[in-house]
Amino acid sequence: MPVDTARMTKVFSRPQSLTEAHFTYCPGCHHGLITRIIGQTIDELGIAERTIGIAPVGCAVFAYLWYRCDALQVAHGRASAVATGLKRARPDRIVFSYQGDGDFASIGTAESIHAANRGENITVIFVNNQIYGMTGGEMAPTTLVSQRTTTTPEGRDPATTGYPIRFSELLAQLDAPVYITRQALYDTRRIMDCTKAIKKAFQNQVDGKGYSLVEILSTCPTNWHMSPLQANEHVATTVTKVFPLGDLVNKGA
């Protein structure tokens, strides 16, 4: 039944800086939500014409399709180094990298730490879903103890595979970063908080303040073998115990 919305105020619509492309993510996956929030942020700050996005290797490999912005697709783990080169070449442009936990906190460990340590004036969106989504659900450095993945079929055993790495806490030890925060999206309140955090991380760059990172506890219903709702619940009750939410660095707040 058609609804007459002509007389009404639109309170929610698709961000202008997103293209019409359908996301390639699985049902209920937070990657899409994060993309929407980034799009909304780009709209609100009015920076679409000078923003350059960096798509990682991972489920977000197609991220260059989502934004009405220039974009690069780059090698697995190297997004923070590529962002460095891009930003140094064009300091007045807004550069953000979008990286999974395998990308950012495993294969890209060195690039991630050193971009933060140099205080590059970039925005990093770090999507921590505790698993390798794209390649079929293997262990990530962030995988929880006892969590079953395709490469820890009996559950992650810290005796042989170590513990989930709290990468944001590692980066928070550095002097240069201006903003490091961990957020989640498992309910409306967290979504609103995360939206504020992402906006701040972009605003910092616009203001020339320096390195800002938003880690987001994301879901992978597919490889967690959970329904989207169960996955949200799992983040709320279990994942946040290992990865506590909140700001780790917030300079000049």
Partner 1 sequence: MGERYLLRGNEVIAEAAIRAGCQCYFAYPITPQGELVEHMARHMPRLGRTFIQAESEVAAISMVYGAAAAGVRTMTSSSSPGISLKQEGISYIAGSNLPAVIVNVVRGGPGLGNIAPSQCDYFQAVKGGGHGDYHMIVLGPSTVPEAGELTMLAFELADRYRTPVMILADGLLGQMMEPVELPESLELSKLPQKPWAATGAKGRDPNIILSFDLSPENLKRMNLELQAKYAEIRKNEVRWEEMDTADADIVVVAYGSIARIAKTVIRMARAEGIRLGLFRPITLWPYPYEPLRDLADRVHTILTVEMSAGQMWEDVRLAVAERAASPFYGEMGGVVPTPNGILSEVKKYAR
Partner 2 sequence: MPHGVVVVDGERCKGCGLCIAACPQKVLAFSGALNKSGYDVVHVEMPDACVGCAFCALTCPDIALSVYREKTRT
Ligand X SMILES: Cc1ncc(C[n+]2csc(CCOP(=O)(O)OP(=O)(O)O)c2C)c(N)n1
Rule CB under 6 A: say whether 57 interacts with ligand X: yes
- Phi first, then psi, for residue 10 (nearest 5°) are -80, 120
Strands 246-250 and 179-184: antiparallel
Report in angstroms how near the CB of residue 222 gets to ligand X at its nearest.
10
Report in angstroms how near the CB of residue 43 gets to ligand SF4 at its nearest.
20
Cα–Cα dist 108/89, whole Å: 21
CB 199 within 8 A of CB 207: no
Residue of 78, 182, 190, 199 that binds partner 1 (CB under 8 A): 78
CB 132 within 8 A of CB 156: no
Rule CB under 6 A: say whether 135 interacts with ligand X: yes
Cα angle value 52/55/61 (rounded, 5°) = 150
CB 117 within 8 A of CB 151: no
Residues of span 218-247 touching ligand SF4 by CB under 6 A? 220-223
Report in angstroms how near the CB of residue 202 gets to partner 2 at its nearest.
19
Report in angstroms how near the CB of residue 252 gets to partner 2 at its nearest.
29
Residue of 18, 29, 37, 63 that binds ligand SF4 (CB under 6 A): 29
Per the listing, tokens 């290992």 go with 242
- Phi first, then psi, for residue 164 (nearest 5°) are -55, 130
| Partner from partner 1, ligand X, ligand SF4, none contacting 140, C-beta within 5 to 8 A by type | ligand X
Q: Which residues of 142-178 are buried (b: 16+ CB within 10 A; e: fewer)?
A: bbbeebbbebbeeebeeeebeebbbbbebbbebeebb
| Partner from ligand X, partner 2, ligand SF4, none contacting 124, C-beta within 5 to 8 A by type | none
Rule CB under 6 A: say whether 139 interacts with ligand SF4: no
* Contact residues for ligand SF4, defined by CB under 6 A: 25-26, 29, 31, 59, 129, 133, 220-223
Q: Contact positions toward ligand X, by CB under 6 A?
A: 57-60, 76, 100-103, 127, 129, 131-135, 140
Which residues are at the interface with partner 2 (CB under 8 A)? 3, 5, 7-14, 18, 22-23, 25-33, 36, 187-188, 191-192, 221, 227-229, 232
